[in-house]
Amino acid sequence: MTSQNNVTIHDIAKELQINSSTVSRALNNSSRVTQKTKNRILEKANDMGYQRNLLASNLRKNKTNTIGVIVPRISRYFFSSAIAGIEEAAYEMGYRVIICQSLEQLEREKNLIETLVANRVDGIILSISMETVNSEHLKKAKAKDTAVVFFDRHCDDKAYSNVLNDDFQGGFDATEHLISQGRRNIVHFAGPQTLKIYQNRQAGYRKSLEKNGIAFRPELVFNSKLMEQDGIDCGKKLLKLPFEIDGIFSANDVAAITAMQYLKKQNIKFPKNISIVGFSNEPSSAVIEPALTTMDQSGREMGQKAASLLLHEIKNKSLEIKPETVILKPSLIKRNSS
Amino acid sequence: MTSQNNVTIHDIAKELQINSSTVSRALNNSSRVTQKTKNRILEKANDMGYQRNLLASNLRKNKTNTIGVIVPRISRYFFSSAIAGIEEAAYEMGYRVIICQSLEQLEREKNLIETLVANRVDGIILSISMETVNSEHLKKAKAKDTAVVFFDRHCDDKAYSNVLNDDFQGGFDATEHLISQGRRNIVHFAGPQTLKIYQNRQAGYRKSLEKNGIAFRPELVFNSKLMEQDGIDCGKKLLKLPFEIDGIFSANDVAAITAMQYLKKQNIKFPKNISIVGFSNEPSSAVIEPALTTMDQSGREMGQKAASLLLHEIKNKSLEIKPETVILKPSLIKRNSS
DNA sequence: CTGTTAGCGCCTTCAG
DNA sequence: CTGAAGGCGCTAACAG
């Protein structure tokens, strides 16, 4: 019962009185084997319950046909939809995907990169943790010639390719949208300012205020580390403001959604005329009150793009492809109608 | 620049004029190497930019210290929290986790199992796709003596361990709760009846109706395949019912959340006195209207439990441990207060 | 404590 | 079209 079936190509070869190289070729569907012997081999392999050992195969070929993906958390809709896009593109090209989460910790991110490299993945797609400030830890990947592409949250390093949103423009457009509706007292739920994307969103917000002659008030910027608690704090801060606000631009969905949940729990109703624009496409944002308009960033699209960039680099490793940065435009979308 | 650094233990050994086995031992921190030579080796390895090849190591050891996890979708809160629990438990025992999603497709699930086995993972934790009706495809894992544990969605096969919810009891309690509030016209959002868990939840619902002398009406059972469209359909069906209902027991969060979103978009307000009990711990369920009470199933706890069961089986592979089934009790939780 | 030897399972030259 | 031989990088006996 504990058969521990460990049939190898040699076992098959022995049974068939042929050489293991022929078996190997047959199993790889090489054109240099007669269809007839191929059939014999395949059948025997099946009978004996042969299962290829990819460790050995990959070791020999020095290639795994696998790419690693590291995101902060798979539970965020943006990231899981990006992963869907990556898998789609990778699958088409015959690549497997290993999904990993850094849980926003640099230490974990480092470990994951090391493990992926040690397992000889052909490439890595990465959206950095909130603790990550440079690409130092990717040297190990570079050293092994492992291709790397960033998406969304990136390191400012010309050596790597990126797939990004135009976050500045998004922040700008979001704020413009609010102002065009007559809002002038606009709170900004910011994200961790260690990350370029949140810096840029905030910069866009400020640019729009400036353009419209509205003074920037630091006390209207609510910082967040993307934890639920920060969202609750945002909700509380809203209640403590010494004056009425009429708009919110949220650069992160955790803050927006959790703050609204919190206020709802407290049975606090916003004045009907407040507007929120969020930077998120989390579906649950569609049920929050008051109505939310979002800067839509297509995770799937970014993922697909990142994967094809990466695979392109992998295929042309010898050609020393130069890194490329793709910037996508997010667009305003109304998510619910109440 | 394209250094393609491929330093092996032999290179280090050559530089140091020693044997590669000593290098191997040093790098594995074996007690049978002088601290002094260890230091020399470690330093040299570092200098030369050595990076272990786990493919080779794992091939030789016939062990990867890795477990594979297959879930239908990582984006569902229940599954991503289960994964968190698995990673936690696995990490403690020094195991790595590979996350995979079947996207509810049997074909993908089969492929994933094959790839995981081919990559010689030490064990697999699995929550089956909605298309999966038996454990046939796990024979390949069994053949290689790969440990397998199911959680939540399982196959009825005595050969494998399971970590399950008491779904029947949950469905029963949920319905009892509604009835105790005076509801008698209770709709059931069911899940795919191919899966035991949804059968059991429905059976619990029926049992409670029966116990309270309420006739079971098939037209009050809304089936769902867990797609957004099904949620919308549930919403539409609610509107078309020829009589008033006063309670809903939802066995799946997709239907509950999407239906409520849909009704909200249509600007349809439920009568204040309707009650919903959902079988979900998706946080976004906390913002849905009307107030939702849930049968809480702790993903994290199930994940931890599944991982420790699996690791136990892996460690005692030689002892032919007999499969175990753990059943957890979900409990009613009020998620918001409006 | 260190060296020697052998081989994990596969693929890929190179011959024939 | 098939066989023989060697080695991917590492570890695990077995010696000494």
What was the pLDDT predicted at A267?
76
- pLDDT bracket for residue A206 (50, 70, 90): very high
Task: Residue A6: list chain B partners with CB under 8 A.
Answer: 144
Share of chain A above pLDDT 70, in %: 91
Q: Does A115 touch chain B (CB under 8 A)?
A: yes
Which of residues 16-55 of A have CB within 7 Å of strand D?
17-22, 25, 31-34, 36-37
In B248-298, which ranges are continuous DSSP H helix?
A: 253-265
Determine contact, residues A122/A90, Cβ cutoff 8 Å. Answer: no
Determine contact, residues A258/A232, Cβ cutoff 8 Å. Answer: yes
Over residues A279-294, the mean pLDDT reads 65
Cα(B227)–Cα(B255) distance, rounded to whole angstroms? 8
* Closest residue by Cα to residue B174 from B278, B19, B23: B278
Cα(B52)–Cα(B182) distance, rounded to whole angstroms? 66
What was the pLDDT predicted at A234?
92
Facing residue for B265 by CB, picked from A51, A96, A337: A337
Question: A52-66, A120-134, A254-268, B76-90: which has the minimum mean pLDDT?
Answer: A254-268
Determine contact, residues A196/A156, Cβ cutoff 8 Å. Answer: yes
Report which residue is nearest nucleotide D5 when distances run from CA to C1'.
A21
Burial level of B286, CB count in 10 A (0-12/13-18/19+)?
A: buried
Residue A335, pLDDT > 80, answer: no
Residue A81, pLDDT > 80, answer: yes
Mean pLDDT of chain A: 90
Residue A338, pLDDT > 50, answer: no
Hey, what long-range contacts does A19-23 have (CB within 8 A, 24 or more apart)? none
Q: Does B182 touch chain A (CB under 8 A)?
A: no
What was the pLDDT predicted at B272?
60
Over residues A229-236, the mean pLDDT reads 92
In B277-336, which ranges are continuous DSSP H helix?
A: 299-315
Q: Is B167 helix (H, G, I), strand (E, B) or coil?
A: helix
Q: How far is CA B108 from the centre of its chain?
A: 16
Cα(B115)–Cα(B120) distance, rounded to whole angstroms? 8
What was the pLDDT predicted at B141?
94
CB contact under 8 A, A54 and B338: no
Q: Which residues contact A25 (CB under 8 A, 6 or more apart)?
A: A32, A33
- pLDDT bracket for residue A1 (50, 70, 90): very low
Q: Is B275 helix (H, G, I), strand (E, B) or coil?
A: strand
Choice between A99 and A5, residue whose per-residue pLDDT is larger: A99
Burial level of A242, CB count in 10 A (0-12/13-18/19+)?
A: exposed
Q: Which of B9, B51, B227, B257 to mutate to test the interface with A (most CBs of A within 10 A)?
A: B51
Cα(B85)–Cα(B301) distance, rounded to whole angstroms? 6
What was the pLDDT predicted at B338?
38
Show pLDDT as tens, one digit a residue, over chain B (338 residues).
445 678 999 999 999 999 999 999 999 999 989 999 999 999 999 999 999 999 999 999 999 999 999 999 998 889 999 999 999 999 999 999 999 999 999 999 999 999 999 999 999 999 999 999 999 999 999 999 999 999 999 999 999 999 999 999 999 999 999 999 899 999 999 999 999 999 999 999 999 999 999 999 999 999 999 998 999 999 899 888 887 888 899 998 888 888 887 887 777 776 666 788 887 777 666 555 565 667 666 889 999 999 999 999 999 988 888 999 999 988 877 655 43
Q: Does A46 touch chain B (CB under 8 A)?
A: no
Cα(B116)–Cα(A178) distance, rounded to whole angstroms? 50
Number of H helices, E strands in chain A: 12, 12
Cα(B81)–Cα(B74) distance, rounded to whole angstroms? 9
pLDDT per residue over A133-176, tens digit each? 999 999 999 999 999 999 999 999 999 999 999 999 999 999 99
- Chain B: closest CA distance from residue A141 (Å): 10
**How much is the pTM?**
0.93
